[in-house]
Chains A and B, each alone.
Chain A
């Protein structure tokens, strides 16, 4: 075990990947010698060569297209999109190509070797275009897997699983926590199974669900609720696609209440999918309406970021309302 921040943990997962396969490549804007604008790929070009860790021209659709081709060839292709806000020029390559490669060819070809890493989320005074959480757009696309880690240990284990998974995976990294989240991480290789949620705190009154950076927020809200005698069960969804209906439904059947929280705008956010499914699965167990605490339906603001974000106080209020319903 070693104390690492999230960037170190991600770097460690990438390092292991590069060492285990001579064909694995890491590429994206500024990922080469500079090591990425957040330094997640620091030191890897020196170690594995310019031909395997390299800068690309500024073309997100090119990065995704190149990655699809490299993955189809059979090489682990780990592409970085510098900010999730800039993933949209690559939308066609991801949604129409990566996601459908295996299906449309009858499994003659696939891009299971593809992993796209991209920093997402707000709370860093990034305004409209350095703060977005676009996971729901991709969750509407069969063929993709979507993973979001909450801390360094999770980041390394989930990223290794994403890389080894035989399907294209988008790995959203909570950039607010890159350096802020520090924890004990094994130096050796390990994986955390995709598609499995984790109950990170057991409780009996209400289930509160989130993923990524929002886990820190709902944990703070749960602490506040505890002071008022409310026992909160916390779940980290970890995988958005596929998502672990069973773990969430079992929890809600026990507590009878659910609060879902995410940074992205509320309308058509992934929370909507969770709410729809859980009311189907747990209808007769529900003691209160399922609540969502999310971003407003606005572009991501700057000066009024504090007002916009689904902070711990808003989550706490939703917990209280659910319990007192």
Chain B
């Protein structure tokens, strides 16, 4: 008789493929996972608690640090929530700038995902290719607001900085460049047999499960559910632009991969139209009271971040500080399906599936 034992393995908190300080306790039978328990909170900074003692402008930098790969969309969801509460008008130029930076951010965020995902799969080179192209976007942001990662760019009622002269031309030049590079990516990676064998049919779930678990973003659309908040519940100026929502049908890692690459293309399409329609002049800040004091009541707004639906629930008592501020973080919600997906998979697929969900731990833990 051979006595076999299950192996209890701590993947993380320090592990190269958990994308930050995130831990999964897995029970292994050989290399097959029989149980997986995610453990988080290592990066919990109590943003929601801190926010209760800050005014709304002071909270904006904290949102940068939640999803630090996509700080612009986080900025937007907060200022959008406050603007909705106060019924503020945002000048068109400012709204255009916001939309352009958000779409650039989506491209940058998906590039980070693409690079790190391939790094997880074991290919090193694409990571550096992706970062080369992301660097251009980061430089654009740097020129716009003086920061490369945590921008603190948007304000209630507008944006902090107008585009410097020539900035919009650089954005315009970036679009065809990135389109070419996407083709290069496809040639380099998307047809690689090993890569396809690694991700096709892995981490599958159907639309019913995805909705039940409240998944959003590419994680939801890979099952064929047509739900992109930019189209379904348009905010900002998205209703003015033409773009498609890429959908999958198998709900596996491959579909998520295809969707994210296609979303870069669609973002570039939006950018192209936005740059063309960008108003020549105008204000970048609307009329905002000196102290921002939303009326008593509550509001829940949601936008489409690169990772899915990011929401902001503000309860106000008419003070300059929020009474309660809750962020609905897509990474946190999307991650919830992980234990279910992992059972019966191998250690290798753990990395494939976790990478495919696209989490940012700063956002999971908030």
Q: Do A and B bind each other?
A: no
- Residues of B at under 8 Å CB distance from A? none
